[in-house]
Amino acid sequence: METISLSPNKDLLAAFVERYRSALAPSKNPYIQHFFRLPGATVSIYHSGKVVLQGEQASEFAAFFGYKMEKSSPNTEQNLPLMGSDEVGNGSYFGGLAVVASLVTPKEHGWLRELGVGDSKTLTDAKIRQLAPLLKESIPHQALLLTPQKYNEVIASGYNAVSVKVALHNQALYLLLQQGAQPEKIVIDAFTSVGNYQKYLKKEKNQFSNPITLEEKAEGKYLAVAVSSIIARALFLENLEKLGKELGMTLPSGAGSKSDQIAASILKRYGRDMLAHVAKLHFKNTEKAEKIAKGKL
């Protein structure tokens, strides 16, 4: 297990807390001000300002503070025209599901690295909003957004959380290929096994012959996937903000207890139809929110 200790400035600490607020967890250590349980890592922020990151993905979240992991050799697998896709919103109760496929060639690598392109989970929302328009203007891509309302309809029709993502990734890649993209390799940030992906893919209408690779943590290895991750994150944030404005409230990302409380408030004020307009109803948050709204929790 990797352990990284850092002492970032107060602005970065505040930005990190805000970015990952939904992942806050209790800690019995009196010296810890904030404790986070994140995918593949825990992050402890001490009252002194020291930050300790532990876990297999510690270095990925440490990148938020400017930490750069030493690499023994460059990734030569992306030194070719490469299409990569990623999704954002799958773990958030509120907001839609965004999937983006992008085509990056070696000639863009230097420019993308200068911009600071990387895994969207390691970037602040402000940085995401700054980068996304530049990437959308310069990089061939295909973005898809499944709104919460449509997401609920698709789930009700027989899809599940995995098959929905398979359908969206396949469609984004298919449409980008239809636009004339000619990749030598296609990488999807793995969210399921290859066997599972192929099983659900057989049910999709739009097929293509290009082989695909499902690879874990691909957003940190391939610039094409990182670009898709950033554009998808921006699209998700825009949708979350739009839905919040329709309700006159701020909708959180993630699926923590704050989401339960806000969902309960929406149920009491507007009813289940409105909740279906802004949230993914098959999450356990819906059941909790219903109990809170009825005073049973």
pLDDT tens digits, one per residue of 91-127:
999 999 999 999 999 999 999 988 888 777 778 888 8
Residue where a domain stops, chosen among 33, 64, 95: 64
pLDDT of residue 8: 87
Residues in the annotated binding site: 86-87, 189
Closest CA to 64 of 83, 45, 80: 45
pLDDT of residue 286: 96
Residues in the annotated binding site for a divalent metal cation: 86-87, 189
Question: pLDDT at residue 90 above 90?
Answer: yes
276 and 216 belong to one structural domain: no
pLDDT of residue 169: 97
pLDDT of residue 244: 96
Q: Looking at residues 119-136, what average pLDDT do you find?
A: 88
pLDDT averaged over the chain?
91
Residue 69 falls within a domain, yes or no?
A: no
pLDDT of residue 65: 84
Indicate the SS3 state at residue 101: strand
Percent of the chain with pLDDT over 90: 70
Question: Residue 208 corresponds to which tokens in the numbers above?
Answer: 């293509």
Opening angle at CA 121, ends 77 and 57, nearest 5: 70
* Amino acid symbol at 244: G
55 and 118 belong to one structural domain: no
Residue 221 falls within a domain, yes or no?
A: yes
231 and 90 belong to one structural domain: yes
Model confidence over 51-89: pLDDT tens digits?
998 888 888 888 888 876 544 334 557 889 999 999 999
pLDDT of residue 73: 38
Q: Looking at residues 121-134, what average pLDDT do you find?
A: 89
238 and 290 belong to one structural domain: no
Q: Looking at residues 176-192, what average pLDDT do you find?
A: 95
pLDDT of residue 1: 57
Residue 70 falls within a domain, yes or no?
A: no
Residue 72 falls within a domain, yes or no?
A: no
85 and 225 belong to one structural domain: yes
143 and 6 belong to one structural domain: no
89 and 184 belong to one structural domain: yes
Residue 201 falls within a domain, yes or no?
A: yes
60 and 33 belong to one structural domain: yes
CATH no. for residue 177? 3.30.420.10
Model confidence over 196-254: pLDDT tens digits?
999 999 999 999 999 999 998 898 889 999 999 999 999 999 999 999 999 999 999 99
On whether the CB atoms of residues 4 and 12 are closer than 8 A, the answer is no
159 and 218 belong to one structural domain: yes
Question: pLDDT at residue 190 above 90?
Answer: yes
36 and 162 belong to one structural domain: no
Residue where a domain stops, chosen among 64, 88, 103: 64
Residue 136 falls within a domain, yes or no?
A: yes
Query: At which residue do the structure tokens 């030194």 appear?
Result: 79
* DSSP 8-state symbol, 94: B
Total domain count for the chain?
3
Residue 96 falls within a domain, yes or no?
A: yes
Which domain range does residue 56 map to?
2-64
82 and 226 belong to one structural domain: yes
Residue 266 falls within a domain, yes or no?
A: yes
d(CA 47, CA 84): 40
CA atoms within 13 A of residue 109's CA, in its CB half-sphere: 14
125 and 139 belong to one structural domain: yes
pLDDT of residue 37: 93
